[in-house]
Amino acid sequence: MITQTTIVLKYIVLRKRMMNEPYRYTERQVFHTVWRLLHVDPEIQRAFVEWFTEGREPRLKYAGISYAELRKHRKMNEFNAFLFMDELKRNPDAALNMLVANDASLTAVGLDELRPELRDYVARKLKEQAADDAKKKEEFRLHDNGSITFKLK
Amino acid sequence: MITFLTTVGIYVASMLVLEGVGWLFNALRMNGVRKRTEEWCKTLPLTGEDRRLVESNRELMREFFPDGIENTLRGMPLDERVELMKNLIDRANSVYGVDVSVVKFAPASELGECTYGQFEREGNTVSVNLDILASDEGDVMRAIVGTVFHELRHAQQYKAITDENYAYGSEEQRRLWALNFAADNYIQPEVDFVLYQKQAVEADARQVAEHIIENF
């Protein structure tokens, strides 16, 4: 899909933008968001690419909620709003329900704070996740230092 | 000529088979990756222990809201609502067996316009949005009461994975919560609001709260 390729090609620029103000994403959050954007509905992906490359404000609206409303009333940043539009399109009822009541985000728990019997399990799972992230990056040829490579056939 | 064409045909067929196998292998591998990506974005069903917790809290609800949430709160002055919620949190704290030591009622300017409540692990504090508590809209009143049980469930999740002497939670629950709370695994609402809602600790807290306030 051409928009997927565009997103992959723009990874360096996307990463830089997301890690700076006002977003200040971590490396993992950048990768999580890009991975999610690579799998959203094609119409939303097109709108995202148009926004990112041409600055065109999307006119997306599903289940009575528009992108602009998410930005203005829910204070979602652009990346978050695109991801939410995808859910509104795919699962409108569930998405609308999500908007009802929210609480503030929670804090992480370090390995050393966990009950002893949970530490090994979580440590092992985190290793698996790191391996999975590497596989995902391999699929789309994304690299942490911002370089992108393509295997020639 | 026939031999040549046969050789070419075999070669092409072999390449196609190899490509197909390679594609299938990769598809299976990435399928596993995708499944594991959402490993902590699932809602476990309530355990028997959870159902007993829900029922104990519903007894509290019957005591605090005998005529239902809307009928009890509508028209009630804000200071009385604050008092009611403070007492509810105090009692529910004991039912959950957690150590919430501070209850705070803060304005939307501090918590966020759309943030109904918050649990802060460091100070063992549950906060409630004062401006939202003042609302007379039916759905909002129900949601703010549900927030109490939602935040206390977060307190319980934390305790279940950090306190060796706290017996609550199945092994499956504790593992899932521990994994979700691991650094960088907890999805912030500012980054991905959808997966923030779907992640295990949030979906679980929502499920428990909904069961407690159902039909009130």
* pLDDT reported for residue B175: 96
Query: Does the distance separating the beta carbons of B192 and A80 come in below 8 Å?
Result: yes
Count CB-CB contacts under 10 A for residue B50: 21
* pLDDT reported for residue A101: 67
Instruction: Please give, rounded to a whole number of angstroms, the shortest distance from the CA of A106 to a CA of chain B.
Output: 7
B37: pLDDT strictly greater than 80: no
Instruction: Please give, rounded to a whole number of angstroms, the shortest distance from the CA of A1 to a CA of chain B.
Output: 17
* Closest C-alpha to A103, from B126, B173, B73: B126
* pLDDT reported for residue A3: 74
CA angle A79, A83, A87 (to 5 degrees): 160
Convert the pLDDT of each residue in B142-168 to its tens digit.
999 999 999 999 999 999 999 999 999
Query: Are B84 and B181 in the same domain?
Result: yes
* Terminal Cα-to-Cα distance of chain A (whole angstroms): 19
Instruction: Please give, rounded to a whole number of angstroms, the shortest distance from the CA of B145 to a CA of chain A.
Output: 11
Query: Are B31 and B134 in the same domain?
Result: no
Instruction: Please give, rounded to a whole number of angstroms, the shortest distance from the CA of B36 to a CA of chain A.
Output: 8
Query: Does the distance separating the beta carbons of B154 and A106 come in below 8 Å?
Result: yes
Query: Are B170 and B202 in the same domain?
Result: yes
Query: Are B49 and B32 in the same domain?
Result: no
Which residues on chain B are in Cβ contact (under 8 Å) with A126?
Answer: 182, 185
Lowest-confidence region among A25-34, B128-137, B170-179: A25-34
Query: Does the distance separating the beta carbons of A115 and B201 come in below 8 Å?
Result: no
* pLDDT reported for residue B38: 63
Token pair recorded at residue A67: 């992108």
Which residues on chain A are in Cβ contact (under 8 Å) with B194?
Answer: 83-84, 86-87, 95, 98
Which residues on chain A are in Cβ contact (under 8 Å) with B180?
Answer: none
* pLDDT reported for residue B184: 80
Query: Does the distance separating the beta carbons of B191 and A80 come in below 8 Å?
Result: yes
Which residues on chain B are in Cβ contact (under 8 Å) with A115?
Answer: 161-164, 174, 178
Average pLDDT over residues B106-128: 92
Token pair recorded at residue A150: 């393509």
Q: What are the residues whose beta carbons fall under 8 Å from the beta carbon of A60, sequence distance 6 or more?
A: A43, A44, A47, A66, A67, A85
Query: Are B74 and B24 in the same domain?
Result: no
Query: Are B60 and B97 in the same domain?
Result: yes
Average pLDDT over residues B116-145: 94
Q: What percent of chain B has pLDDT over 90?
A: 74
Bridge partners of A142, per DSSP, are: A148
Q: What is the pTM of this model?
A: 0.85
Query: Does the distance separating the beta carbons of A105 and B189 come in below 8 Å?
Result: yes
Tracing tokens 């695109």 back to the chain, one arrives at A82
Most confident option among B3-17, B36-50, B71-85: B71-85
Query: Are B12 and B103 in the same domain?
Result: no
* pLDDT reported for residue B202: 94
Angstrom distance (rounded) from CA B127 to CA B66: 24
Query: Are B95 and B19 in the same domain?
Result: no
Q: Which domain holds residue B76?
A: 44-213
Convert the pLDDT of each residue in B202-211 to its tens digit.
999 999 999 9
Query: Are B190 and B97 in the same domain?
Result: yes
* pLDDT reported for residue B27: 60
Query: Are B26 and B114 in the same domain?
Result: no
Token pair recorded at residue A123: 């440590």
B33: pLDDT strictly greater than 60: no
B186: pLDDT strictly greater than 50: yes
Query: Are B76 and B27 in the same domain?
Result: no
Convert the pLDDT of each residue in B49-80 to its tens digit.
999 999 999 999 999 999 999 999 999 999 99
B29: pLDDT strictly greater than 80: no
Mutation target vs A (from B194, B197, B202, B204; most A CBs, 10 A cutoff): B194
B35: pLDDT strictly greater than 90: no
Query: Are B185 and B85 in the same domain?
Result: yes
Q: What is the pLDDT along chain A (153 residues), one digit of tens a residue?
A: 567 777 777 788 889 999 999 999 998 899 889 989 989 999 999 999 999 989 999 999 999 999 999 999 999 999 999 999 999 999 999 999 888 767 778 999 999 999 999 999 999 999 988 888 888 777 766 555 555 554 444
Mutation target vs B (from A109, A113, A119, A120; most B CBs, 10 A cutoff): A109
B1: pLDDT strictly greater than 60: yes
Angstrom distance (rounded) from CA B174 to CA B81: 34
Place B169 in a pLDDT band, splitting at 50, 70 and 90: very high
Mutation target vs A (from B18, B28, B33; most A CBs, 10 A cutoff): B33
* pLDDT reported for residue B34: 58
Chain centroid to CA A108: 19
